[in-house]
Amino acid sequence: MNRPTSIHAAGCGCDDCHRPDGSIPLDQADEAAIARLVEGAAANDSGEELEVVMTTTLAPGGAPTGIVGTVVVRWDGRTWDVSRHLLAAVSFGPPF
């Protein structure tokens, strides 16, 4: 399994983008690779701003639980639902 440490620009064909566990072009990144960005395990060297949309829940009575439900990353009309790749690793204090 490729575990890139850097996401490069879409269409990048540098040597590192052909190396396992190196980098990967944004347009070829799968959910697991994008999840690594969200976790901080990979750097966003794509030159692009990626939108991260997270959902959380309110407990009965109204206090934010801080539990993240879904995490979706969006860029240029593409979406990656990285929720299942993040396991329980991601939790945020209120409001996130």
Alpha carbons 64 and 51: distance in angstroms, whole number: 22
The single residue listed with the structure tokens 């639902």 is 81
**Which positions from 12 through 71 interact with Zn ion, judged by CB under 5 A?**
12, 14, 17, 23
Between 7 and 73, name the residue whose CB sits nearer to Zn ion: 7
7, 8, 29, 36: which one binds Zn ion (CB under 5 A): 8
Q: With respect to Zn ion, which residue has the nearer C-beta, 12 or 42?
A: 12
Q: Which CB, 45 or 81, lies closer to Zn ion?
A: 45
Neighbours of 41 (CB within 10 A): 13
- From residue 38, alpha-carbon distances to 12, 18, 58, 60 in Å are 21, 22, 23, 29
* Rounded least distance, CB 93 to Zn ion, Å: 35
Tokens of 3: 């575990």
Residues that bind Zn ion (CB under 5 A): 8, 12, 14, 17, 23
